[in-house]
Amino acid sequence: MTRAFLGLGSNLGDRLGYLKAAVAAIGDCVAVSGVYESDPVGGPDQGQFLNMVAELETSRSTRDLLELCQALEASAERVREVHWGPRTLDVDVLWVDEEPVDEPDLVVPHPLMFERAFVMMPLAELAPDIAEGWADAEPGGCRRLGDWEELTSQASGGVL
């Protein structure tokens, strides 16, 4: 079994609902971070994102994890019209222990993760060994909304 981390984000519709459905569909998820709200980075003007990180203990290959991410996005009816545009669900392979990949359609560790507070802040909750140095970093438009269990036990009702 290998430790892996997926980054999840949503800024359209029932943001928390999309995250909740995605986490429920990840069979080998062993932990989730708190939920963060962040300003969009790059792309057109758009609403704020909800972000989180899921930790997996998995026998899946990195390529299989990418396919899982794409399947989760498809189940949320993600539409890719504008690069870095608004989306119902965005799921990225952030890190897979001891399995770096550098291919045209897949780079792991994620090449921008160390530049993004909305990735590193939730990742630091689950993997301080990977996110070392981020505990005191500038949040850059990213704030923690609460624990996953607390937020998802309440009916979201489209509020988040």
Active site (catalytic) residues: 78, 87, 90, 92
Structure tokens at 91: 């799921």
Confirm if 6 and 108 have CB atoms less than 8 A apart.
Answer: no
